[in-house]
Amino acid sequence: MRVLLAMSGGVDSSAAAVVLRDAGHDVVGVTMRLWGGESDTGCCSVSDVDDARRVAQQAGIDHLVFNFSADFEERVVTPYVDAHVVGVTPNPCIECNRHLKFDRLIRRGRELGFDAVATGHHARIEDRAGLPRVVRGADTAKDQSYVVHMLSGEDLGYVLFPVGGMQKSEVRALAARSGLRTASKPDSQDVCFIGSTVGRGGFLSSRMGFHPGVVVDTEGAEIGGVEAVELVTLGQRRGLGLGGGDKRYVVDVSISERRVTVGGEDDLLSPGLTVGTLAWPHAADARTLDGADVLVQGSAHGARHGARLDTDGTVARLSWARPQRRISPGQTVVFYDPTDSYVLGGGVVTDPG
């Protein structure tokens, strides 16, 4: 089978190359050039591209570079900036997976006649009740099913996750035995287009204007101020200039009124939330899951909480079994089956409740 393997320059995709090669597949590695600006973090630095190329040489497979920088700017960077302008906290890595690392790459793979596209994600694809589903990776501490939740049933028949059934320690051991230069390389944790020296604020300030805002308590009394209300997020505790005393968290942000409201931990609790930009692995899921009990994960490695899911297929309302902290608009939530093993769908928070 001819397999197009996305190689980020990390250890997981490096090990995936060995797994696929040793299984007898005709493997071609590809590194996507996404961010065209300066970068010293994430998976888009010059050194990462070089690591991917050298690992491909070590594994004895061909290596290509696809320039998707224009798509990345349009689909990831510009929406990231636009979201902050209106006070939404986006997840650019999710959108990169949605539009580039899967949709764009899958289309290119099909155009070039490959039988499958593979990545180094820690997730699995297995049948559940006769339908292919994204299943949690074998290494629960490294599970990445959350970030690949948007894959459709058609995609699931074309995508491979070669290291999804392995523990991270096994991945590194395989890379070391194979002499790969990435065997001990740390995992990438940061957004690739935000350099470590300028940070989020520095990056956004070059593309948008900031406005000062007042900080008020839940009674509306002014107790402080922030230099950039666009940089404040729901649940934030630090950087508000409020000094010591009781713990206070951001419970509401109004960009139009340039106001940040803070309160206690209980003030963050909500009985539910509304979700849009829904992704369903299978079209029938939108109908069969209406009124279903699900487990919901609100961050890449966050805890799961029980909720009732009510949906018309395009918008969903989650009602928590117990009140939970509000999740910022723009963040992604993923729905899992009640056994917490496989993805039912997911979407982007529009109203935190």
Contact indicator for 296, 305 with CB cutoff of 8 Å: yes
The alpha carbon dihedral of 285, 290, 291, 293 has a sign of: positive
The DSSP code sequence of 34-70 is: ---S--SSTT-SHHHHHHHHHHHHHHT-EEEEEE-HH
- Strand (E) or helix (H) holding 312: none
The letter for the amino acid at 351 is D
Number of neighbours of residue 211 by Cβ within 10 angstroms = 11
Residue 207, SS3? coil
- Strand (E) or helix (H) holding 340: none
Number of neighbours of residue 296 by Cβ within 10 angstroms = 24
Region for residue 339 given its phi and psi (left: phi exceeds 0; alpha: psi -120 to 50; beta: otherwise): alpha
Distance, in Å, from the CA atom of 303 to the CA atom of 191, rounded to the nearest integer, reads 22
Q: Which residue has the tokens 């099913």?
A: 145
The contacts of residue 99 (CB under 8 Å, 6+ apart) are: 71, 75, 76
Q: Which of 267, 316, 90, 65 is nearest to 194 (CA)?
A: 90
Residue 87, SS3? coil
For the annotated catalytic residues, the residue numbers are: 96, 192
Alpha carbon distances (Å) from 12 to 6, 91, 150, 343: 10, 22, 20, 22
